[in-house]
Structure 1
Amino acid sequence: MIIETLSWGKLEVNEEQLYHFPKGLPGFDEETEFALIAMAEAPFWYLQSIKNKGLSFLLGDPFAFYLAYEFELPDDEAEELEIKSDVVVRCIITLKENVEQSTINLLAPVVLNPVNRYGKQIILHKAPYHTKHNLLQEVSVIDGKDGG
């Protein structure tokens, strides 16, 4: 399938890269079809809307930046995504002109089921995280005091 993007123009994606977000993403409820595009040799991906070439999100592997990052996926969310065993967790990154000020949203991870290719951004209501953790700060334990 060929999709159009602002960053790369026309891009060919295969079926394994396509994810369905039944309820869209917060603020983008109408956008339900995305391609997950890996960046070569880096812990980053783009979540690119299939329909809107101007809508994409930079995602990162939260475990690559915050070794102690963990949360329990609520049963109803796991059930909605039909997760049995395989799960992929990515978090939205906000890049700043000054890279040291870039942040990662650990409060609302994007949870993906690579088997059926369903996805959802989950808001962790009982977690010590917030939406703007410093991307480049090495932290072994997240206690809410990392200033991000």
Structure 2
Amino acid sequence: MQIHTKFLGEVEIQEEEVITLTSGLLGLEEYTKYVLLPLDKDSPLAIFQSIEESQIGFVVAYPFAFRKDYAFDISEVDKKELQVEKEEDLIAYSIVTLKEPFEESTLNLLAPIVINSVKKCGKQIVLQDNQAYPLRFPIAELKGSVK
């Protein structure tokens, strides 16, 4: 199917690539169907694009590529919503706020988007018990392999 995207123009996707968010994203709860569009095969960055509204798209990053010690627990309620059978089926992404220059961009480590890659469902989880992760963490300060 063809979709219009915020950053990449018109893109061809397969129906099985669609990820359904159980609650939408914070502030955008009415949009629940998204697709993850990699920017490059080896890049930790991708586009998380709504298939329901072309102007809703986010640059997301695999946070562990930037900060190797990033970790959080997922509640039993969230695991149930995410239909978790195996923990390794889950993948987390952080929304990136892009700035010029790129080094001034930030990652939202406080509210990752967690996706069950097998069941094609996901949820944005606001971390409650981990004050170590801010809403806007400068990419320039991240401790990982991309620096």
Q: Same fold (TM over 0.5)?
A: yes
Decide which structure has greater helix share. 2
Distance 2:113 2:29 in 1: 15
Q: Which amino acid aligns with 2:107?
A: I
- Runs of 4 or more, structure 1, over 4 Å off, are none
The residue number in structure 2 matching 1:55 is: 56
Q: Does 1:102 align with 2:84?
A: no
Q: Does 1:129 align with 2:130?
A: no
The residue number in structure 2 matching 1:27 is: 27
Q: Displacement, 1:97?
A: 1.8
Percent of pairs with identical residues: 35
Q: Which amino acid aligns with 1:52?
A: E
The residue number in structure 2 matching 1:93 is: 96
Q: 1:71 to 1:6 in 2, by over 3 A?
A: closer
User: TM-score when scaled to structure 2?
Assistant: 0.90
In the alignment, structure 2 segments of 5+ residues that lack a partner are none
The residue number in structure 2 matching 1:79 is: 80
Report the RMSD for the aligned CA atoms in angstroms: 1.3
In the alignment, structure 1 segments of 5+ residues that lack a partner are 141-148
Number of equivalent positions: 140
Contact 2:22 2:81 in 1 (8 A): no
Q: Displacement, 1:6?
A: 2.9
Q: Displacement, 1:7?
A: 2.0
User: TM-score when scaled to structure 1?
Assistant: 0.89
Contact 1:65 1:136 in 2 (8 A): no
